[in-house]
Amino acid sequence: MARYERVLRVLAPAVLLAVVGCGGGGGDAAGGGGGGDAAPAEMPFDVATAGNITGSVTFEGTPPPPEVLDMTSEADCAATYTGDPEVSWVDVGGGGLADVFVYVREGLEGMSFPVPGQAVVIDQQGCQYRPLVAGVQVGQSVAFRNSDGLLHNINASPTANRPFNVSQPVNMDTEREFAAPEVMIPIQCDVHGWMAGYIGVVTHPYHTVSGGSGAFDLSQLPPGEYVIEAWHARLGTLEQTVTVTTGQTAEVTFNFTDAMLSSAGTPTDGPHDHRTMARVGGVAE
**Nearest to another protein of 49, 174 (CB atom):** 174
Grouping H, G, I as helix, E, B as strand and the rest as coil, residue 123 is: strand
* Phi, psi angle pair for 269, to nearest 5°: -95, 180
CB of 165 to another protein, least distance (A): 4
177: nearest Cα among 116, 104, 111: 116
Q: For residues 243 and 227, what is the distance between their CA atoms, to the nearest angstrom?
A: 9
Site for another protein in 7-26 (CB under 8 A): 7-9, 12, 15, 18-19, 22-23, 25-26
Count Cβ neighbours within 10 Å for each residue of 249-269 and write b for 16 or more, e otherwise.
ebebebebeeebbeebeebeb
By CB under 8 A, residue 150 contacts another protein: yes
**Nearest to another protein of 157, 249 (CB atom):** 157
Site for another protein in 186-215 (CB under 8 A): 190-193
Q: Contact region for another protein (CB under 8 A) — 37-45, 101-109, 113-121, 150-158?
A: 150-158
Q: Contact region for another protein (CB under 8 A) — 167-175, 207-215, 226-234, 252-260?
A: 167-175
By CB under 8 A, residue 124 contacts another protein: no
Give Cα separations from 82 to 76, 91, 278 (angstroms).
Answer: 12, 19, 31
Give Cα separations from 40 to 35, 43, 278 (angstroms).
Answer: 11, 7, 31
* Phi, psi angle pair for 275, to nearest 5°: -70, -35
By CB under 8 A, residue 32 contacts another protein: no
With CB under 8 A, what is the number of residues at the site for another protein?
45
* Residue ranges in contact with another protein by CB under 8 A: 1, 4-5, 7-9, 12, 15, 18-19, 22-23, 25-26, 29-30, 73-74, 150-151, 153-155, 157, 159, 162-170, 172, 174, 190-193, 270-272, 275-276
